[in-house]
Amino acid sequence: MVCFRLAPVPGSGLLLLCLVLGAVSSYALELNLRDSENATCLYAKWQMNFTIRYETTDKHNKTVTISDLGPATYSGSSCGDDQNGPKIAVQFGSGFSWIVNFTEEKSFYSIDSISFSYNMNDNTTFPDAKEKGVFTVSDHVAFRVPLNDIFRCNSLLTLGKNDVVQHYWDVHVQAFVQNGTVSTKEFLCDKDKTLTTVLPIVPTTVPSPTTTPSPKEKPEVGSYSVVNSNGTCLLATMGLQLNITHDKVASVININPNTTNFTGSCHPQTALLRLSSSSIKYLDFVFAVKNENRFYLKEVNVSMYLVNGSVFSIANNNLSYWDAPLGSSYMCNKEQTVSVSGAFQINTFDLRVQPFNVMEGKYSTAQDCSADDDNFLVPIAVGAALAGVLILVLLAYFIGLKRHHAGYEQF
């Protein structure tokens, strides 16, 4: 038996299923599944999205991110029986589905397997796919959790297989719920254990001045995109180099697009591109509309693991970079620096972004950053010309004055 209502937080009583829009611009799913006796048998709340790489008809590789899962159905979700364990089944979009199976063993239950099916016949999501049909990827997870514990992982979890990368975060799940009551005892994933454990730092030497990192080679350029129900809504192409100063130690990190996951969302006034990897929990680029006719980079948020195991986090929601008219893209092939804070800067290379009004999955006409330079040079040139004219006028005046005095001396 499955019921549902819209809510942003876990409910109680007869609440069975909730679907809300999450803070990271994908859907937060919440399932409170009850058995025939109206007792909770399985509880889960999580956020997820999917990145799929496919070959186009013109033999190029293209990547799309599916983050808009609504409206979704949950046919096939069950508490399990003597022959089969509990199961969560979600259907969304045009022929997309996601299933997770649970098993029980003595004093543990396992998140046993996860499968994701996507429909390449969906021309909205895959308008130029070379291969058509429904494809399925399955992963054997076998993650064990003590019975009567709820598994929690707020950190980003990633499953990658073939051409599909699955992203999960803000995960809370308990299968085989005992006596119809969801446990308050949490079993944390390893990443959350790292975040919640603070190790004391005992200095053994006198702190040294900030060290300057050796210059790094130019980063590889990556292509990123965000897809919603209307198709591709955000495009970004750029090489990214992170400059971090932490505990007076400076470091330079080049982002490798081949090992970087991406997701995001698009709304009328804002758009988000989120990058993540094994060391980067999230690197968010938030774009906004201003004056109803231009867009710009308004916000950058980052949280990542450093080499020493500590977590580096910075946020700035008062930026003003990459300004361009709506309906166009912003492009800058030269190196640019986005100064997020004194401790964190991002160098960009071969940059091109369009967070709004993407048509047919392609960039619109670009406003080049060289135009900004030209706009800056124009007043300088005009000022220099006026200064030159003023100097000539003054010279002519003094020369004339000198000749005038010389004429008086002849008398």
What local confidence, expressed as pLDDT, does residue 406 receive? 53
Cα 391–Cα 392–Cα 396 angle in degrees, nearest 5:
120
385-408 mean pLDDT: 67
Name 222's bridge partners: 238
What local confidence, expressed as pLDDT, does residue 380 receive? 55
What are the DSSP calls for 163-202, one per residue?
Answer: TEEEEEEEEEEEES-GGG-----EEE-HHHHHHH------
Topology of the domain covering 221-368? Porin (2.40.160)
Confidence of residue 382 (pLDDT cuts 50, 70, 90): low
Task: Tell which CATH architecture fits domain 29-188.
Answer: Beta Barrel (2.40)
Query: What is the tens place of the pLDDT at every residue in 214-241?
Result: 456 899 999 999 998 889 999 999 999 9
Query: What is the tens place of the pLDDT at every residue in 69-127?
Result: 767 888 999 999 988 999 999 998 888 999 999 999 889 999 999 999 999 999 888 98
Rounded Cα distance between 46 and 210, Å, is 41
What local confidence, expressed as pLDDT, does residue 28 receive? 67
CATH topology of 29-188 equal to that of 221-368? yes
High-pLDDT (> 70) share of the chain, %: 80
Structure tokens belonging to residue 127: 């308008």
pTM of the model: 0.49
Burial group, residue 28, by CB count within 10 angstroms (0-12, 13-18, 19+): buried
Residue 257 pLDDT greater than 50, yes or no: yes
Averaged confidence pLDDT in the chain: 81
Structure tokens belonging to residue 105: 């063993």
- 15 Cβ partners below 8 Å, 6+ apart? 3, 5, 7, 32
What local confidence, expressed as pLDDT, does residue 403 receive? 60
Residue 381 pLDDT greater than 60, yes or no: no
Query: How many secondary structure helices (H) and strands (E) does the chain include?
Result: 2, 26
The answer to whether the Cα torsion of 166, 19, 313, 187 is positive or negative is negative
Name 244's bridge partners: 251, 344
The one-character DSSP state at 385 is H
What local confidence, expressed as pLDDT, does residue 74 receive? 86
Burial group, residue 227, by CB count within 10 angstroms (0-12, 13-18, 19+): buried
94 vs 243, higher pLDDT: 243
What local confidence, expressed as pLDDT, does residue 392 receive? 78
Q: What are the sequence ranges of the domains in the chain? A: 29-188, 221-368
Contact 44, 29 (CB under 8 A): yes
3-state secondary structure 386-404: HHHHHHHHHHHHHHHHHHH
24 membership: H or E segment, kind and range: none
49-75 mean pLDDT: 84
Rounded Cα distance between 139 and 150, Å, is 21
Say how many CA atoms lie within 13 Å of 323 toward its Cβ. Answer: 9
Residue 402 pLDDT greater than 70, yes or no: no
Question: Which amino acid, one-letter code, is at 222?
Answer: G
Q: Give me the torsion for CA of 74, 138, 169, 238, rounded to 10°.
A: -120
Strands, DSSP E only, in 106-259? 108-119, 134-146, 150-153, 157-161, 164-175, 186-188, 221-228, 231-246, 249-254
Confidence of residue 407 (pLDDT cuts 50, 70, 90): low
φ and ψ of 116, to 5 deg: -135, 130
Residue 16 pLDDT greater than 60, yes or no: no
Residue 326 pLDDT greater than 50, yes or no: yes
Name 321's bridge partners: 297
Residue 180 pLDDT greater than 60, yes or no: yes
Name 150's bridge partners: 186
Residue 14 pLDDT greater than 70, yes or no: no
As a whole number of Å, the end-to-end CA separation of the chain is 120
Strands, DSSP E only, in 294-343? 294-305, 311-316, 321-325, 329-332, 336-341
What local confidence, expressed as pLDDT, does residue 230 receive? 84
